[in-house]
Amino acid sequence: MKLPDFEKIKTLYKLGKNLTFSDIQILIKSAKTKSISPGEFLIKEGDTKKEIFLIKKGLVRTYKINDKGDEITTLVRYENQVVASPDIIFFNKPSEFYFEAFEPTEVFYMDYEMLQQLIDSNPKLEANRKFFLHNILKDLLKRVDSFVLLSPEERYLEFIKTHPDITNRIPNKHIANILGITPVSLSRIRKRIVTKNK
């Protein structure tokens, strides 16, 4: 594993100045790597295995199948972001969602319980535990807030601001799902924004 990969993990976990190179190696040795083809799953609905993934390269789509049998995309994750099932990690229950590779994807992954043991044996990693959990919660709360406080157009503008490269990597129907609108409404919003900016 090359040094740039070490640096990515240090950045994600915000370990930087607090850890030595030996500390970083502990994490690296415990993390496995995996290549996933488009359409393959990191986590499926009903899975219970506690694993946390760091995307080295690629894109992962999170979706749920509704009562009509439609796939409803709720989230996308890409390079240097974490993928984990809140259902499994927080509530010890089977995942209610699918986490699917949407592009050729490479990940680092660790068993969550093993990560907990590593943290318990190295107090300097405690900030890492909080970082994981806080970021999962932060994303969930941010999504709820956006539906309560923002209009569909504001949600779209916020999405393209925080995900500037993603709009060209996934179909409009998935973006519309994430925003809680129809593809037709998304098209109207885009036209309205273009008209305003002329």
Whole-angstrom Cα distance, residue 12 to residue 196?
38
Digit-coded pLDDT (tens) for 26-59: 777 777 889 999 999 999 999 999 998 988 899 9
Q: 178: which residues sit within 8 A by CB, 6+ positions away?
A: 73, 74, 75, 76, 159
pTM of structure? 0.81
Residue found by looking up tokens 């002329």 in the block? 198
- Residue 26: helix, strand or coil by DSSP? helix
Digit-coded pLDDT (tens) for 132-191: 677 777 777 888 888 888 999 999 999 998 888 888 899 999 999 999 999 999 999 999
| CA neighbor of 106 nearest in space, from 55, 39, 182 | 55
